[in-house]
Amino acid sequence: MRVLVTGGLGFIGSNFIRHALAAKSSWSVVNVDKRTYAGNPANVADLPRSRHRWIKADICDAKAVERAMRGCELVVHFAAETHVDRSILDASAFLKTNVIGTQVLLDAALRLKVRRFLHVSTDEVYGSVAKGYSKEGDLLEPNSPYAASKAASDLLVRSYFVTHRAPVITTRASNNYGPYQYPEKALPLMITNFMEDKPFPMYGDGRQVRDWLHAVDHARAILTVLDRGELGEVYNIGGSFTCENRELIARVLRLMGKPASLVKRVEDRKGHDRRYALDCGKLKRLGFKHAYDFERGLRETVDWYRANERWWRPLKVEGGYKSYYCAQYRRR
């Protein structure tokens, strides 16, 4: 079976392709990725060419998308601008890729009559949840330009199901972690900064609550939804561990044997959500169970960055971070 994966050079997309090819012996993957700053061919360099082909293309390019999708039965759509800090500085790329790009893919999927189209989204579309857990039918209340662009794409996907009966499913996942994550995101930035004995900027009081999902468990959950999920539905994919950001930092410090003096408190991010929490009952009813507990996953993630300095160090040296995170620290 031929499967189109968008954004497969990125962190979550490449982990999905790697896991899916191991789990599905009949699959071959067409990987459409524009190769933006966060897309790295090294993430998939060891995959067999007989089963994986990368096509450098923009998902907003309708002709390129249709050429790549032709002959594919399934589409798994990861491609997106995802870094909240960047969206605060400039939202334009987020609207183009996350909304227009999704529309282009949906139109191609309709024309080519793909069997299933899975749209990968985020828990951030629900906004901050003071108590309880977000369910799939809850009101969407995004609080960052990134989250707003993803909420818009979620609604677009829904509209194609209602209007065109497109064979779509949406998943909304919590914070992912694991190997191959671009080192501007919080956890790999933390790990690599601590490896270099450099400070890590903690936003505000560090009491923001996040739910942590290993990228391989995310891939496993997506396969479960593709196999057993109902068309037109949304499925939350939560992690196996929830904690405040300051607790996460303390865990990484202990694991790496680093002093608390490396943590530098900075002004909180604009529109920073206080807490995310997902109700994953629908996913569990499909039979999904996590394979990674957080302690094991975090330890293996730290070990991966320690063993793969040649992968992440050039990315940090290249810089180009338009990160609000880093800009805040530089102001101190």
Residues assigned a catalytic role: 123-124, 146
Helix residue ranges, H only, 32-185: 62-69, 84-89, 92-95, 101-112, 145-164
Bin 299: left if φ > 0, else alpha if -120 < ψ < 50, else beta: alpha
Q: Which residues pair with 213 in a beta bridge?
A: 176
Q: How far apart are CA 175 and CA 211, in angstroms?
A: 6
| 11 touches 40 (CB < 8 A) | no
Q: Give the 3-state secondary structure of residue 77.
A: strand
| 84 touches 149 (CB < 8 A) | no
Q: How far apart are CA 235 and CA 122, in angstroms?
A: 11
Q: Which H or E element spans position 316?
A: helix 309-318
DSSP string, 43-77: GGTTS-TTTEEEEE--TT-HHHHHHHHTT-SEEEE
| 194 touches 253 (CB < 8 A) | yes
Q: How far apart are CA 135 and CA 126, in angstroms?
A: 9
Q: How far apart are CA 25 and CA 228, in angstroms?
A: 18
